[in-house]
């Protein structure tokens, strides 16, 4: 059985992709900013360890960090993506407030933490759609739009609660509380794992999608 061998011309030939060999010099040059920030971080950490070894060599302080820092990280990560997109959001404190108002409004009469969390998420999504409609739909600059929605949502929160606070002691006994801020692996708070997962998700969106 005969076979014909056709020579491919230069136009028909597929381009040959050659993989550049790994080089520490190229790696450092491409990631100079990230490596510099890590170097500064470890330098500051070493300074604190040398200044107060009994405190910064104890695991208790890191458990405290893992319990408090994730709150700010979970807020900062999406805001970072907004800034990368060239926009600005100044309404996030009021969005957090209106989400809490929705939680309290549903939790107090029902005692159902799961439904209250869904209500808080729905309020946050509605506030985000409001901002998106003002910025994308109408064309108002994000800085101006979110300043306006910040005052609007803050005032709405005060009106709905009539300026009063609310106690959520009963929510501590719920299963949702244990999932969100309980401890599942040793003494590590769950909010640390939530922030870690959100950080990975943001990295995927920034580096593995068209965002």
Count of beta carbons in the 10 Å neighbourhood of residue 205: 13
How do residues 95-119 score in pLDDT, each as one tens digit? 999 999 999 999 988 888 999 999 9
DSSP letter, residue 135: I
Rounded to two decimals, what is the model's pTM? 0.76
The predicted pLDDT at position 145 comes to 93
DSSP letter, residue 182: S
Which pair of tokens denotes residue 210?
């068209």
Residue written as token pair 């360890």: 49
Residues of the chain with pLDDT under 70: 1-19, 211
Helix (H) or strand (E) holding 107: helix 92-110
The predicted pLDDT at position 127 comes to 94
Instruction: Enumerate residues 6+ apart whose C-beta is below 8 A from 48.
Output: 55, 56
The whole-angstrom separation of Cα 71 and Cα 32 is 28
């Amino acid at each position: 059985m005969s076979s014909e061998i056709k020579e491919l011309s230069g136009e028909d030939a597929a381009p040959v992709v050659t993989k550049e060999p790994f080089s520490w010099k190229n790696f450092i040059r491409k990631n100079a900013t990230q490596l510099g920030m890590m170097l500064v971080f470890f330098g500051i950490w070493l300074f604190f360890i040398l200044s107060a070894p009994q405190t910064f060599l104890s695991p208790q302080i890191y458990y405290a960090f893992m319990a408090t820092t994730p709150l700010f990280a979970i807020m900062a990560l999406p805001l970072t993506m907004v800034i990368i997109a060239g926009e600005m959001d100044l309404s996030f404190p009021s969005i957090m407030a209106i989400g809490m108002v929705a939680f309290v409004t549903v939790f107090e009469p029902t005692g159902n933490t799961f439904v209250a969390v869904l209500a808080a998420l729905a309020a946050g999504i509605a506030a985000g759609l409001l901002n998106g409609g003002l910025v994308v739909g109408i064309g108002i600059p994000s800085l101006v739009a979110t300043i306006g929605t910040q005052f609007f949502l803050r005032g709405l929160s005060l009106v709905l609660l009539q300026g009063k606070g609310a106690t959520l002691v009963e929510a501590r006994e719920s299963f949702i509380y244990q999932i969100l801020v309980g401890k599942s692996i040793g003494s590590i708070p769950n909010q640390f794992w939530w922030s870690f997962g959100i950080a990975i998700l943001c990295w995927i969106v920034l580096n593995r999608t068209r965002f």
